[in-house]
Amino acid sequence: MGQTEAVRPHRKKRSLWTDAWTRMRRNRSAVIGMAMFAIILLACFLSPFYLNYETNVIQPDLEAIRQLPTERHVLGTDELGRDILNRIIWGGRTSISIALAATVFSSVLGIIIGAVAAYYGNVIDSVIMRVADVFMAIPSMLLMITLVSVMQPTASNLVIAMSVSGIPGIARIVRGQMLSVMRNEYIDAVKGMGAGSLRIVVQHALPNALSPLISQIVSSVAGEIMAISGLSFIGIGIQAPAPEWGAMLAAGRNYIRDQPYLTTFPGIAIVLTVVSLTLLGDGLRDALDPRMKR
Protein backbone atom coordinates (compact mmCIF):
# COMPACT_ATOMS: atom_id res chain seq x y z
CA MET A 1 0.00 0.00 0.00
CA GLY A 2 1.07 3.58 -0.57
CA GLN A 3 1.99 6.01 2.11
CA THR A 4 -0.83 6.63 4.53
CA GLU A 5 -2.24 10.10 4.32
CA ALA A 6 -1.98 12.17 7.46
CA VAL A 7 -5.26 12.78 9.15
CA ARG A 8 -6.02 16.46 9.19
CA PRO A 9 -7.07 17.64 12.64
CA HIS A 10 -10.53 19.09 12.99
CA ARG A 11 -10.74 22.79 13.58
CA LYS A 12 -12.14 23.80 16.90
CA LYS A 13 -15.56 25.34 16.40
CA ARG A 14 -15.48 29.05 17.08
CA SER A 15 -18.05 30.68 19.32
CA LEU A 16 -20.56 33.23 18.04
CA TRP A 17 -18.63 36.13 19.57
CA THR A 18 -15.25 34.95 18.25
CA ASP A 19 -16.71 34.55 14.78
CA ALA A 20 -18.37 37.97 15.01
CA TRP A 21 -15.12 39.62 16.11
CA THR A 22 -13.29 38.04 13.18
CA ARG A 23 -15.83 39.43 10.72
CA MET A 24 -15.76 42.76 12.51
CA ARG A 25 -12.01 43.12 12.03
CA ARG A 26 -12.42 42.48 8.30
CA ASN A 27 -14.91 45.34 7.99
CA ARG A 28 -12.80 48.42 7.25
CA SER A 29 -15.62 50.88 7.95
CA ALA A 30 -16.33 49.30 11.33
CA VAL A 31 -12.65 49.40 12.29
CA ILE A 32 -12.42 53.07 11.27
CA GLY A 33 -15.55 53.87 13.29
CA MET A 34 -14.24 52.00 16.32
CA ALA A 35 -10.86 53.78 16.12
CA MET A 36 -12.51 57.20 15.72
CA PHE A 37 -14.79 56.66 18.70
CA ALA A 38 -11.93 55.32 20.82
CA ILE A 39 -9.87 58.45 20.09
CA ILE A 40 -12.84 60.69 20.94
CA LEU A 41 -13.44 58.81 24.19
CA LEU A 42 -9.80 59.05 25.23
CA ALA A 43 -9.58 62.76 24.41
CA CYS A 44 -12.78 63.59 26.29
CA PHE A 45 -12.58 61.37 29.34
CA LEU A 46 -8.90 61.98 30.01
CA SER A 47 -9.49 65.75 29.91
CA PRO A 48 -9.48 66.16 33.74
CA PHE A 49 -5.82 65.10 33.66
CA TYR A 50 -4.71 67.91 31.32
CA LEU A 51 -7.43 70.56 31.67
CA ASN A 52 -8.55 72.51 34.70
CA TYR A 53 -12.30 73.01 34.57
CA GLU A 54 -12.31 76.38 36.27
CA THR A 55 -9.39 78.06 34.51
CA ASN A 56 -9.28 76.30 31.12
CA VAL A 57 -12.96 75.68 30.41
CA ILE A 58 -15.39 78.12 32.03
CA GLN A 59 -13.33 81.13 33.14
CA PRO A 60 -13.93 84.12 30.78
CA ASP A 61 -11.04 86.03 29.25
CA LEU A 62 -12.36 89.44 28.20
CA GLU A 63 -9.13 90.26 26.37
CA ALA A 64 -9.53 87.30 24.01
CA ILE A 65 -13.19 87.55 22.98
CA ARG A 66 -14.00 85.86 19.63
CA GLN A 67 -10.42 85.54 18.48
CA LEU A 68 -9.71 83.64 15.28
CA PRO A 69 -7.75 80.37 15.56
CA THR A 70 -4.18 81.10 16.62
CA GLU A 71 -1.22 79.14 17.94
CA ARG A 72 -2.40 79.76 21.51
CA HIS A 73 -6.06 79.02 20.77
CA VAL A 74 -6.03 76.39 18.02
CA LEU A 75 -9.78 76.62 17.30
CA GLY A 76 -10.23 80.21 18.43
CA THR A 77 -12.19 81.60 21.38
CA ASP A 78 -15.89 82.10 22.01
CA GLU A 79 -18.01 85.14 22.90
CA LEU A 80 -16.49 85.21 26.42
CA GLY A 81 -12.90 84.57 25.38
CA ARG A 82 -12.89 80.88 26.39
CA ASP A 83 -10.85 78.38 24.39
CA ILE A 84 -13.17 76.53 21.98
CA LEU A 85 -11.03 73.39 21.77
CA ASN A 86 -11.00 72.98 25.55
CA ARG A 87 -14.76 73.47 25.70
CA ILE A 88 -15.37 70.99 22.87
CA ILE A 89 -13.27 68.36 24.64
CA TRP A 90 -14.97 68.89 27.99
CA GLY A 91 -18.36 69.24 26.35
CA GLY A 92 -17.85 65.89 24.63
CA ARG A 93 -17.27 64.34 28.03
CA THR A 94 -20.66 65.71 29.12
CA SER A 95 -22.57 64.76 25.96
CA ILE A 96 -21.17 61.24 25.68
CA SER A 97 -21.59 60.52 29.41
CA ILE A 98 -25.28 61.48 29.35
CA ALA A 99 -25.85 59.59 26.08
CA LEU A 100 -24.18 56.42 27.40
CA ALA A 101 -26.06 56.59 30.72
CA ALA A 102 -29.39 57.08 28.96
CA THR A 103 -28.66 54.22 26.56
CA VAL A 104 -27.69 51.82 29.36
CA PHE A 105 -30.72 52.76 31.46
CA SER A 106 -33.21 52.46 28.60
CA SER A 107 -31.61 49.23 27.35
CA VAL A 108 -31.73 47.50 30.74
CA LEU A 109 -35.35 48.46 31.38
CA GLY A 110 -36.33 47.76 27.78
CA ILE A 111 -34.75 44.30 27.88
CA ILE A 112 -36.52 43.44 31.14
CA ILE A 113 -39.91 44.72 29.95
CA GLY A 114 -39.60 43.05 26.54
CA ALA A 115 -38.52 39.74 28.06
CA VAL A 116 -41.42 39.74 30.54
CA ALA A 117 -43.92 40.54 27.78
CA ALA A 118 -42.61 37.78 25.51
CA TYR A 119 -42.29 35.08 28.15
CA TYR A 120 -45.63 35.51 29.92
CA GLY A 121 -47.65 36.69 26.92
CA ASN A 122 -51.45 36.96 26.99
CA VAL A 123 -52.77 39.85 29.11
CA ILE A 124 -49.34 40.94 30.36
CA ASP A 125 -47.99 41.13 26.82
CA SER A 126 -51.03 43.06 25.58
CA VAL A 127 -50.90 45.61 28.39
CA ILE A 128 -47.15 46.20 28.05
CA MET A 129 -47.29 46.55 24.28
CA ARG A 130 -50.28 48.91 24.36
CA VAL A 131 -48.46 51.16 26.83
CA ALA A 132 -45.38 51.02 24.60
CA ASP A 133 -47.54 51.99 21.60
CA VAL A 134 -48.79 55.06 23.46
CA PHE A 135 -45.24 56.25 24.19
CA MET A 136 -44.04 55.44 20.67
CA ALA A 137 -46.92 57.45 19.21
CA ILE A 138 -45.43 60.58 20.80
CA PRO A 139 -42.41 62.01 18.92
CA SER A 140 -39.34 61.26 21.04
CA MET A 141 -38.05 64.85 21.03
CA LEU A 142 -41.46 66.19 22.06
CA LEU A 143 -41.61 63.64 24.89
CA MET A 144 -38.13 64.59 26.10
CA ILE A 145 -38.93 68.32 25.96
CA THR A 146 -42.09 67.73 27.98
CA LEU A 147 -40.35 65.65 30.64
CA VAL A 148 -37.38 68.00 30.98
CA SER A 149 -39.72 71.01 31.17
CA VAL A 150 -41.58 69.38 34.07
CA MET A 151 -38.32 68.52 35.84
CA GLN A 152 -35.22 70.64 36.35
CA PRO A 153 -32.71 70.49 33.43
CA THR A 154 -30.03 68.64 35.40
CA ALA A 155 -27.84 65.85 34.02
CA SER A 156 -29.73 63.15 35.95
CA ASN A 157 -33.12 64.45 34.81
CA LEU A 158 -31.88 64.57 31.22
CA VAL A 159 -30.84 60.92 31.49
CA ILE A 160 -34.30 59.99 32.81
CA ALA A 161 -36.13 61.92 30.08
CA MET A 162 -33.98 60.47 27.30
CA SER A 163 -34.26 56.96 28.73
CA VAL A 164 -38.06 57.03 28.89
CA SER A 165 -38.27 57.83 25.19
CA GLY A 166 -35.94 54.92 24.31
CA ILE A 167 -37.45 52.14 26.43
CA PRO A 168 -40.46 51.27 24.19
CA GLY A 169 -38.34 50.71 21.09
CA ILE A 170 -35.88 48.44 22.92
CA ALA A 171 -38.75 46.53 24.56
CA ARG A 172 -40.38 45.87 21.19
CA ILE A 173 -37.15 44.57 19.64
CA VAL A 174 -36.45 42.28 22.60
CA ARG A 175 -40.03 41.00 22.61
CA GLY A 176 -39.83 40.10 18.90
CA GLN A 177 -36.51 38.31 19.30
CA MET A 178 -37.68 36.50 22.43
CA LEU A 179 -40.85 35.26 20.75
CA SER A 180 -38.71 33.80 17.97
CA VAL A 181 -36.33 32.12 20.43
CA MET A 182 -39.15 30.75 22.61
CA ARG A 183 -40.41 28.67 19.67
CA ASN A 184 -37.23 26.59 19.62
CA GLU A 185 -37.35 23.02 20.88
CA TYR A 186 -34.53 23.43 23.37
CA ILE A 187 -36.69 25.88 25.34
CA ASP A 188 -39.38 23.18 25.65
CA ALA A 189 -36.69 20.73 26.73
CA VAL A 190 -35.43 23.09 29.43
CA LYS A 191 -38.99 23.58 30.67
CA GLY A 192 -39.45 19.81 30.75
CA MET A 193 -36.38 19.49 32.94
CA GLY A 194 -38.09 21.66 35.54
CA ALA A 195 -36.16 24.91 35.05
CA GLY A 196 -37.78 27.98 36.55
CA SER A 197 -38.97 30.99 34.58
CA LEU A 198 -36.06 33.20 35.62
CA ARG A 199 -33.48 30.60 34.63
CA ILE A 200 -35.12 29.99 31.26
CA VAL A 201 -35.23 33.68 30.43
CA VAL A 202 -31.79 34.68 31.75
CA GLN A 203 -29.70 31.64 30.81
CA HIS A 204 -31.34 30.34 27.66
CA ALA A 205 -33.70 32.79 25.94
CA LEU A 206 -32.11 36.21 26.43
CA PRO A 207 -28.52 35.33 25.37
CA ASN A 208 -29.85 34.08 22.03
CA ALA A 209 -32.14 37.08 21.57
CA LEU A 210 -29.67 39.87 22.37
CA SER A 211 -27.24 39.50 19.46
CA PRO A 212 -29.29 41.58 16.97
CA LEU A 213 -29.95 44.14 19.72
CA ILE A 214 -26.31 44.98 20.40
CA SER A 215 -25.81 46.88 17.15
CA GLN A 216 -29.09 48.72 17.76
CA ILE A 217 -27.90 49.79 21.22
CA VAL A 218 -24.58 51.09 19.87
CA SER A 219 -26.34 53.03 17.11
CA SER A 220 -28.82 54.47 19.61
CA VAL A 221 -25.93 56.17 21.46
CA ALA A 222 -25.52 58.37 18.37
CA GLY A 223 -29.21 59.24 18.55
CA GLU A 224 -28.90 60.13 22.23
CA ILE A 225 -25.96 62.44 21.49
CA MET A 226 -28.08 64.20 18.89
CA ALA A 227 -30.93 64.40 21.41
CA ILE A 228 -28.88 65.96 24.21
CA SER A 229 -27.35 68.40 21.71
CA GLY A 230 -30.83 69.32 20.50
CA LEU A 231 -32.14 69.87 24.02
CA SER A 232 -29.15 72.02 24.92
CA PHE A 233 -29.51 73.98 21.67
CA ILE A 234 -33.05 75.07 22.59
CA GLY A 235 -31.98 75.92 26.14
CA ILE A 236 -33.39 73.03 28.23
CA GLY A 237 -30.32 70.83 28.28
CA ILE A 238 -26.98 71.41 29.97
CA GLN A 239 -26.99 74.92 31.41
CA ALA A 240 -24.24 77.56 31.19
CA PRO A 241 -21.43 77.91 31.99
CA ALA A 242 -20.96 74.13 31.60
CA PRO A 243 -19.90 73.32 28.01
CA GLU A 244 -21.98 71.06 25.75
CA TRP A 245 -21.88 70.75 21.98
CA GLY A 246 -25.49 71.78 21.38
CA ALA A 247 -25.20 74.71 23.78
CA MET A 248 -22.03 75.85 22.01
CA LEU A 249 -23.88 75.79 18.70
CA ALA A 250 -26.67 77.89 20.20
CA ALA A 251 -24.23 80.42 21.66
CA GLY A 252 -22.30 80.78 18.40
CA ARG A 253 -25.26 81.15 16.03
CA ASN A 254 -25.52 84.87 16.80
CA TYR A 255 -22.06 85.39 15.30
CA ILE A 256 -22.28 82.86 12.47
CA ARG A 257 -21.83 85.48 9.73
CA ASP A 258 -18.62 87.07 11.05
CA GLN A 259 -17.18 84.19 13.12
CA PRO A 260 -18.52 80.94 11.58
CA TYR A 261 -15.90 78.88 13.43
CA LEU A 262 -17.93 79.33 16.63
CA THR A 263 -20.52 76.91 15.25
CA THR A 264 -18.41 74.99 12.73
CA PHE A 265 -16.09 73.26 15.18
CA PRO A 266 -18.76 72.08 17.68
CA GLY A 267 -20.81 70.89 14.69
CA ILE A 268 -17.84 68.92 13.37
CA ALA A 269 -17.41 67.31 16.80
CA ILE A 270 -21.03 66.14 16.74
CA VAL A 271 -20.76 64.86 13.16
CA LEU A 272 -17.53 62.92 13.77
CA THR A 273 -18.91 61.27 16.90
CA VAL A 274 -22.23 60.33 15.28
CA VAL A 275 -20.50 59.02 12.14
CA SER A 276 -18.07 56.91 14.18
CA LEU A 277 -20.92 55.35 16.16
CA THR A 278 -22.95 54.76 13.00
CA LEU A 279 -20.04 52.97 11.32
CA LEU A 280 -19.46 50.92 14.46
CA GLY A 281 -23.15 50.02 14.77
CA ASP A 282 -23.39 48.98 11.12
CA GLY A 283 -20.26 46.86 11.50
CA LEU A 284 -21.68 45.13 14.57
CA ARG A 285 -24.95 44.48 12.75
CA ASP A 286 -23.13 42.78 9.87
CA ALA A 287 -20.79 40.88 12.21
CA LEU A 288 -23.64 39.49 14.32
CA ASP A 289 -25.83 38.61 11.33
CA PRO A 290 -25.79 34.80 10.89
CA ARG A 291 -26.37 35.23 7.16
CA MET A 292 -22.93 36.89 6.88
CA LYS A 293 -21.20 33.77 8.21
CA ARG A 294 -19.11 31.90 5.69
CATH dotted code for 19-292: 1.10.3720.10
For the chain, which residues make up each domain, given as ranges? 19-292
Shortest CA distance to 32 belongs to which of 266, 294, 280? 280
What is the 3-state secondary structure of the chain?
CCCCCCCCCCCCCCCHHHHHHHHHHHCHHHHHHHHHHHHHHHHHHCHHHHCCHHHHHHCCCHHHCCCCCCCCCCCCECCCCCEHHHHHHHHHHHHHHHHHHHHHHHHHHHHHHHHHHHHHCHHHHHHHHHHHHHHHHCCHHHHHHHHHHHCCCCHHHHHHHHHHHHHHHHHHHHHHHHHHHHCCHHHHHHHHCCCCHHHHHHHHHHHHHCHHHHHHHHHHHHHHHHHHHHHHHCCCCCCCCCCCHHHHHHHHHHHCCCCCHHHHHHHHHHHHHHHHHHHHHHHHHHHHCHHHCC
Q: What is the pLDDT of residues 245-281, one digit of tens each?
A: 999 999 888 888 888 889 999 999 999 999 999 988 8
pLDDT at 15: 59
Residues 156 and 95 sit within 8 Å (Cβ to Cβ): no
pLDDT at 5: 47
pTM of the model: 0.83
- Which pLDDT score, from 0 to 100, does residue 140 have? 87
Position 153 scores a pLDDT of 81
Task: Going from the first residue of the chain to its last (294 residues), give the mean pLDDT of each consecutive group of 10, the final group possibly shorter.
Answer: 48 60 78 92 91 88 85 87 92 92 92 85 86 88 88 87 89 82 63 61 65 80 91 88 90 87 92 92 73 51
Residue 125, classified by CB atoms within 10 Å of its CB into exposed (0-12), middle (13-18) or buried (19+), is: middle
In eight-state DSSP terms, residue 71 is S
